[in-house]
């Protein structure tokens, strides 16, 4: 019985001491091994755009194709959210709704090419993750633990 009490007393002291210890953690930065480059293509019909002249419709198609290319980049980087709702009545589908959305911030993309082909305006974008990484390092650098020292 005395040994059991001594063991309990020692375990209490040991666990109490371990909670008092302080530590110093040193971090080091870890760059990724590879940086992918992804591309996106945005397409918009020129004649379907609103505008009083052909020039205005061309400018609107340029803008629409660029936004479409950015949407495609965001979709590839962040993924796409799909919401679906189905209604059944007597085991027969009454209403079927499907919604898709994408949300994100694209930094560092560059326009590779913009051109018109027949009645279509096309914009090609490129996103180099090496540039994205360099930009984000200034804002929120990625770190890993280099060493941990405990002080008693």
Domain ranges for the chain: 2-151
Give the number of other CB atoms < 10 A from CB of residue 12: 10
CA angle 68, 45, 108 (to 5 degrees): 25
Instruction: Give yes or no for residue 40 having a pLDDT over 80.
Output: yes
Position 20 confidence tier, pLDDT thresholds 50, 70, 90: low
pTM greater than 0.85: no
pLDDT tens for each residue of 82-118: 899 888 887 788 888 889 999 988 888 999 999 999 9
């Amino acid at each position: 019985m005395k040994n059991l009490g001594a063991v309990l007393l020692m375990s209490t002291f040991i666990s109490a001491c371990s909670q008092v210890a302080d530590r110093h953690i040193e971090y080091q930065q870890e760059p990724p091994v590879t940086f992918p480059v992804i591309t996106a293509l945005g397409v918009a019909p020129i004649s379907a755009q609103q505008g009083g002249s052909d020039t205005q419709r061309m400018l609107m198609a340029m803008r629409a194709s660029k936004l479409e290319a950015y949407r495609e980049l965001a979709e590839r980087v962040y993924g796409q959210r799909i919401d679906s709702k189905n209604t059944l009545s007597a085991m027969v589908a009454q209403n079927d709704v499907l919604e898709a959305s994408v949300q994100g911030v694209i930094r560092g993309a560059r326009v590779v090419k913009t051109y018109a082909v027949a009645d279509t305006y096309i914009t090609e974008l490129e996103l180099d993750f090496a540039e994205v990484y360099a930009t984000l390092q200034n804002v929120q650098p990625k770190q890993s633990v280099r060493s941990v020292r405990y002080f008693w």
